[in-house]
Amino acid sequence: MTLLWFLIWLIANNIGSHEPLMLNPVNAWTATLILAIALDLSASHARGRGAEGKH
């Protein structure tokens, strides 16, 4: 998911205007990156591949 986000951002950044990733305040691109990372981490946890699944 994060790799897909990066590819979409890279294309949008090169085709459209340059949009930096800002953390203060969080802009739309940074918010979607945080969401993509959260989805990646939660999917790993839901499948049992997190730290608890390794026991």
| pLDDT tens sequence across 41-52 | 888 777 765 555
Is the pLDDT at 15 greater than 80? The verdict is yes
Q: Helix 28-46 vs helix 2-15: angle between axes, to the nearest 10 degrees?
A: 160
pLDDT digits (tens, 9 = 90+) for 20-49: 778 888 889 889 999 998 988 888 777 765
State the Cα–Cα distance between residues 24 and 26, nearest whole angstrom: 5
> Does residue 29 or residue 54 have the better pLDDT?
29
Q: What is the pLDDT of residue 44?
A: 72
Q: What is the pLDDT of residue 51?
A: 58
What is the pTM for the complete model shown? 0.66
State the Cα–Cα distance between residues 17 and 9, nearest whole angstrom: 11
| Helix boundaries (H) for 1-55 | 2-15, 28-46
φ/ψ of 20, rounded to 5, equals -70, 160
